[in-house]
Amino acid sequence: MNFKERCILLLDEEHMFENSGHRTRFKELLDCYGDYPFFSRGLCKCMYLSAWDEEHFAVMLEVLTGLTLGKERDTGEMRMQGENLARESAGGEYYVFQLSNAFLDGREFHLEEDAKVEPEYQYIIQRALRAEELIEKASC
């Protein structure tokens, strides 16, 4: 079983997809971009996060399409775009972009105690952090 199959299986077993749309969007991203040189576990985690809804999925598709057209070998450009999007965002959305950048950087993410994050974004962040553990497990 390859990484993509293990990843989907582990996320399914732990009921990490909010609905069939979330699962389908994630699987599409993984299937389409999982073999490019810029693909990494960090990007996979971002894919899970961006597949949460149609709006973020569309942003991810645009970014990944740009990476493939530019024949990029890493996600450096994506990381810079994430910083710009974070600066333009507020509340929970800001922290979701910070989490994405942490995934790309391969570093831990800690939500500040005094962070003003709406409950729905707290939930998304918690789920993404759990998915991160499972994606790491799938890569072993």
Query: What's the pLDDT tens digit per position in 97-130?
Result: 999 999 999 999 988 888 888 999 999 999 999 9
How far is residue 89's CA from residue 91's CA, in Å, rounded to a whole number?
A: 7
What pLDDT does 136 receive?
95
Taking 80 as the threshold, does the pLDDT of residue 71 lie above it?
Answer: no
Average pLDDT, rounded, for the chain:
92
Q: Are 27 and 8 in contact (CB under 8 A)?
A: yes
What pLDDT does 114 receive?
82
pLDDT band of residue 70 (cuts 50, 70, 90) is confident
Domain that holds residue 7: 3-138
Give 71: exposed, middle or buried? Use CB within 10 Å, 0-12, 13-18, 19+: exposed
What pLDDT does 64 receive?
92
Q: How many domains does the chain have?
A: 1
Query: What's the pLDDT tens digit per position in 22-38?
Result: 999 999 999 999 999 99
Taking 80 as the threshold, does the pLDDT of residue 50 lie above it?
Answer: yes
How far is residue 27's CA from residue 9's CA, in Å, rounded to a whole number?
A: 11
3-state percent helix, strand, coil for the chain, nearest multiple of 5 = 70, 0, 30
The model's pTM:
0.93
